[in-house]
Amino acid sequence: MPTFVILTSCLLALSLGAIGCSGPKAFTKGEYDDPTRVELLDDKYNEADMQQMADTVIRAMVSCNYVANAAKPPVVIVDRVANRTEEHIDTVSLTDKIRTALIKSGKVRFVNKEERATLSEEYDYQAGNASAHTAKKKGNQTGADYILSGSLATNVQEVGGDKFIYYKLTMNLTNLESSTIDCTEEREIRKKYKRQRIGL
């Protein structure tokens, strides 16, 4: 067998061995990053989009006449933001961010819808096990004045080498007694991407 063929075969075997032994790459060194820094790594919904949308909704709800001029902070119950996009978007985090900021503003109070089952279980437990003067009873919970709900929609267009992605978040504050939408806000975000050429 010619020396060139033998040498080529050996080099190929070494290359394949190196690839096979290397295994999957692991991220072993990291550092803290600024969560407010905008960096579009791909064409998906990201933290910066969430932050911009949440900030707009929070400002609108706090300045809404029915909230700003209320004699006392209205009590609100949160409904999860409906994801009407084709992406897997964590709308729970978006809802939590809005709720947390509104509570910190002192303009709105919230009842905890997610813990209703736990609360009911605890009332039943305390009724037979806690002392009479410390036991909490059913029927004294604070009723909500409003429901905070919303939806996130998107539209994607591709023109030539350009891709345009449009997101729209709509949030409503619905009066539980009258069923009227007393406060509403929309936030739109539009992003443009260039198609990346692959290969030589």
Q: What is the full DSSP assignment across 61-78? A: HHHSHHHHT-SSPPEEEE
Model pLDDT for residues 46-91, shown as the tens digit of each residue: 788 888 999 999 999 999 999 999 999 999 999 989 999 988 988 9
Model pLDDT for residues 117-162, shown as the tens digit of each residue: 999 999 999 998 999 999 999 999 999 999 999 999 998 877 777 8
* Helices 47-63, 91-105: inter-axial angle, 10-degree rounding: 40
Q: Which tops the pLDDT comparison, 74 or 4?
A: 74
Query: Which pTM was predicted?
Result: 0.73
C-beta neighbour count of 114 within 10 angstroms: 9
Q: Which tops the pLDDT comparison, 168 or 41?
A: 168
At 165, is the pLDDT very low, low, confident or very high (cuts 50, 70, 90)?
confident
C-beta neighbour count of 41 within 10 angstroms: 6
Q: From the options 3.40.50.10610, 3.30.1960.10, 3.90.550.10, 3.90.79.10, give the CATH code of 42-194.
A: 3.40.50.10610
Instruction: Give the pLDDT of residue 145.
Output: 97
C-alpha closest to that of 195 among 162, 155, 156: 162
Which SS3 state, helix, strand or coil, does residue 88 take? coil
φ and ψ at residue 84, rounded to 5 degrees: -105, 20
Model pLDDT for residues 11-45, shown as the tens digit of each residue: 555 555 555 455 566 666 666 655 555 555 556 77
Kind plus residue range of the DSSP H or E element containing 109: strand 109-110
78, 116 Cβ separation under 8 angstroms: no
